[in-house]
């Protein structure tokens, strides 16, 4: 492995990955195995740690805790000599020499930069809800719909998305309702017609609090003192994309606020890549990991092509051995 100190400028890493969640770790494993001098900078808030039993990630038939998955991923990357540091990058700039300079508690320099900074799912602002996060309060029907079969489910929201969420959940449960938490419904006529067709109850009164025991939701208490018995809440309140760093570098975002990438995870800024939930990917662990791998392959390929152009291809030895020199003595 070419070490950091062997580079032209020893301060400059070949690759820095910001974010040590599923996308960042997967990229790190590929970059380490491609012998790229790689540093992962992570602030330690991967969404994966909220999920106590991931059931849809390939290779874990009994499920796996999200924290375990992160731990395994980090160990696997460290086996391939990837370095990790805990820090939160607040500011980034790109110098005239094309080198990215990242500022957190310390400063870091890199030729190639991968942003795998993820998103934040906003829980509804209802007393009692946060304690149940990942246990009986969920954000994603593709992740968690299967595990709530036949239970009583409330979808929090007041727009078309909430209606479609409720309609999608009918596959898993005969008891699905919408709670708008005091918001006036603003779904389309077509969505209103579907609510009627599929007989989905709608509660528009503000929710006073969520009753729960040991993180298991028992019911919603409405401000009119009505009690609604439910087991699970799903919400559609919207996501906050961690795109601040991409924006500082002038990368293009789409209309939903996600970083625009091509099929190789290159952003609109040269040598800047992005992967995982911060891109328009469907926000699933296995998809984030796949995008991380795709980004790492593109970074490796781009560095390889650059070294051919610069006549600086890295080699096992400075000179090729003649064929007879590769035959072990006495063979």
Applying CB under 6 A, the residues found at the interface with ligand FAD are 18-24, 41-48, 50-51, 54, 56, 88-89, 116-118, 121, 133-134, 139-140, 143, 242, 245, 276-277, 283-286, 288
In 10 A of CB 146, how many CB atoms?
Answer: 12
Q: How far is the CB of 140 from ligand FAD (least distance, A)?
A: 6
**Least distance (Å) from ligand FAD to the CB of residue 131?**
13
For ligand FAD, which is the closer residue by CB, 163 or 275? 275
CA distance linking residue 169 with residue 141, whole number of Å: 7
Length of the chain equals 331
Contact 111, 14 (CB under 8 A): yes
How distant is the alpha carbon of residue 228 from its chain centre? 33
Q: Whose Cβ is closer to ligand FAD: residue 195's or residue 272's?
A: 272
Give me the residue label for tokens 């990368």.
Answer: 251
Place of tokens 């100190």: 5
Residue 61 to residue 100: CA distance in whole angstroms: 41
Least Å distance, CB 85 to ligand FAD, is 9
Least Å distance between CB 44 and ligand FAD? 5
Inter-residue contact 20 to 40 (CB < 8 Å): yes
Q: Which is nearer to ligand FAD, 91 or 314 (CB)?
A: 91
Q: How far is the CB of 152 from ligand FAD (least distance, A)?
A: 19
Tell the smallest beta-carbon distance from residue 45 to ligand FAD (Å): 4
Distance CA 314, CA 304 (A): 9
As a whole number of angstroms, the distance between CA 241 and CA 254 comes to: 11
Residue nearest to ligand FAD (CB): 21
d(CA 248, CA 270): 14
Nearest to ligand FAD of 222, 279 (CB atom)? 279
49/204 with CB nearer ligand FAD: 49
Q: How far is the CB of 218 from ligand FAD (least distance, A)?
A: 19
Q: Which is nearer to ligand FAD, 163 or 277 (CB)?
A: 277
Closest CB 253 distance from ligand FAD, rounded Å: 15
Instruction: Measure the CA angle with vertex 137, ends 166 and 171; round to 5°.
Output: 30
At 77, phi and psi to the nearest 5?
A: -70, -40
65 bridge partner residues: none
Residue closest to 24 by CA, chosen among 300, 314, 285, 328: 285
Q: In terms of CB distance, is 37 or 51 closer to ligand FAD?
A: 51
Nearest CB to ligand FAD, comparing residues 153 and 195: 153
């Amino acid at each position: 492995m070419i070490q950091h100190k062997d580079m032209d400028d020893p301060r400059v890493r070949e690759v820095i990955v910001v974010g040590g969640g599923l996308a960042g770790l997967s990229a790190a494993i590929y970059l380490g195995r491609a012998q790229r001098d790689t540093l992962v900078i992570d602030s330690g808030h991967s969404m994966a740690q909220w999920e106590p039993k991931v059931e849809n990630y390939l290779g874990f038939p009994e499920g796996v805790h999200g924290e375990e998955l992160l731990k395994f991923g980090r160990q696997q990357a460290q086996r391939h000599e990837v370095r990790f540091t805990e820090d939160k990058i607040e500011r980034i700039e790109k110098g005239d020499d094309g080198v990215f300079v990242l500022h957190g508690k310390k400063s870091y320099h890199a030729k190639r930069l991968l942003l795998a900074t993820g998103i934040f799912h906003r829980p509804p602002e209802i007393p009692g809800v946060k304690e149940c996060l990942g246990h009986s309060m969920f954000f994603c029907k593709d992740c968690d719909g299967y595990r709530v079969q036949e239970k009583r489910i409330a979808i929090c929201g007041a727009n078309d998305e909430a209606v479609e969420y409720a309609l999608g959940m009918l596959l898993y449960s005969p008891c699905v309702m919408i709670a708008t938490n005091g918001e006036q419904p603003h779904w389309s006529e077509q969505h209103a017609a579907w609510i009627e067709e599929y007989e989905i109850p709608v509660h528009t009164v503000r929710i006073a609090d969520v009753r729960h025991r040991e993180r298991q939701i028992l019911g919603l208490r409405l401000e009119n003192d009505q009690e609604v018995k439910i087991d699970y809440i799903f919400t559609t309140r919207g996501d906050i994309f961690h795109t601040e760093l991409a924006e500082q570098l002038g990368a293009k975002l789409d209309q939903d606020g996600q970083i625009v990438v091509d099929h190789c995870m290159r952003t609109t800024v040269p040598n800047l890549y992005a992967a995982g939930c911060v891109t328009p990917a469907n926000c699933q662990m296995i998809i984030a990991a796949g995008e991380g791998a795709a980004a790492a392959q593109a970074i490796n390929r781009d560095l390889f092509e650059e070294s051919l152009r610069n006549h600086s291809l890295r080699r096992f030895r400075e000179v090729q051995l003649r064929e007879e020199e590769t035959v072990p003595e006495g063979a």
